[in-house]
Structure 1
Amino acid sequence: MSDEDELENIRRRKLEELKQQAAQQQHAQHQQKQYETKKYHIMRQILSQEGRQRLENIRIVKPQFAEQIELQLIQLHQSGKLRGATPLPDRIIKKSINKLYECYSYSLISVK
């Protein structure tokens, strides 16, 4: 094999690798978008307008905590523990957020 053929093979392999990486990134982005869309629709079912606004306000200050709240609410919703109570009244959301915040604060303190 000549040097030119070897270089061409290397270029082809590199191009294939780049194509595969691009396809994987595109697939991951598509999955992330599907997840976000599904989460959005579930949160619209679970939370009232006030609750969604409260969560967005929390997200501005503590994005990780807002994500934890969403995950907790989605788990409760999917396990059927929120049936008949949705959208959740604001007072229940406040109480739940306060309880979660206590746990969240405790976990941040004890990790030292």
Structure 2
Amino acid sequence: MSDYDDDELNEIINKRASEEQRKAEIEKRKQSELEAQREAALRAILAPEARQRLANIKLIKPDFANSLSDQLIMLAQSGRIKVPITDEELKAILSQLTGQNRRDFKIQIRERGWNEHP
């Protein structure tokens, strides 16, 4: 390879890297804007105590908290729940959700006699 080819290759690599970096910055900005919109919507539909409870849940179960936030926003926008949601109402919603997800397991132990042989 000649020096010309190396320079051209380096230029292409640098150009490609800067394009990827620009795309990543745009994506990061979009994510920040979406998060800001979500937080503004939650401020509008949750009472301060309920927002704090949701923030605490987010520390432990971020995926669950994000899913719950999306559902609450969607329900509020469609008018299916009254706003603002109080802490007590959020506790009731959480209780219903955990009740749906909880499964009861029964373990039965059957004893076999010593004399039982197939």
Question: TM-score normalised to the size of structure 1?
Answer: 0.82
With over 3 angstroms needed to count, the CA separation of the structure-2 counterparts of 1:15 and 1:103, relative to structure 1, is farther
Indicate yes or no: 2:84 matched with 1:91: no
More contact order relative to length (CA 8 Å, sep ≥ 6): 1
% identity of equivalent residues: 26
Which runs of 5 or more residues in structure 2 are unaligned? Answer: 104-118
CA RMSD of aligned residues (A): 1.6
Q: Which has the larger radius of gyration?
A: 2
Change (3 A) 1:42 1:104: farther
Q: Partner amino acid for 1:99?
A: Q
Is residue 102 of structure 1 aligned with residue 72 of structure 2?
no
CA distance in 1, matches of 2:12, 2:102: 50
Native 8 Å contact 1:43 1:70 kept in 2: yes
- Specify every segment of 5 or more residues in structure 1 that has no aligned partner in the other structure, as ranges: 107-112
Greater fraction of residues in helix: 1
Report what 1:109 is aligned to: none
- Deviation larger for 60-69 or 43-52: 60-69
TM-score, normalised via structure 2 length: 0.79
